[in-house]
Amino acid sequence: MSQTMQMSCLAWIVVGAISGWLASLVMGSRLGLIGDIVVGIVGALLGGLIMNLLGAPAGNGLSLWTIFVAFLGAVILLGFIRLVGGSGRPFRI
């Protein structure tokens, strides 16, 4: 694997961990490190899609804007999971 690809994967993991952790704090979820990373990465994809649909930049690389977009996507994802799950209390994935 090239050094650029390794840094890109590391950036996804860091953004996922930070944004997933922040979203789990806001939404009152207890996911653990792996759960936070997964929710953060999926949230980054969802947030990027939403930003593209709105015509706003989604961000690139490791930046505060990228973490913010991923955080928004992660909050939406956790809210959707909570809505579908039907539970108003904290959950574990």
The whole-number pLDDT of residue 21 equals 96
In the predicted model, what is the mean pLDDT of residues 15-35?
93
Chain-centre distance of CA 68, in angstroms? 9
pLDDT tens digits, residue range 28-73? 988 899 999 999 999 999 999 999 999 988 777 788 999 999 999 9
In the predicted model, what is the mean pLDDT of residues 5-24?
88
Where are the chain's structural domains? Answer: 19-83
In the predicted model, what is the mean pLDDT of residues 15-34?
93
Q: What confidence category does residue 1 fall into, taking pLDDT thresholds of 50, 70 and 90? A: low
The whole-number pLDDT of residue 61 equals 76
Chain-centre distance of CA 92, in angstroms? 16
The whole-number pLDDT of residue 69 equals 94
Q: How far apart are CA 26 and CA 77, in angstroms?
A: 12
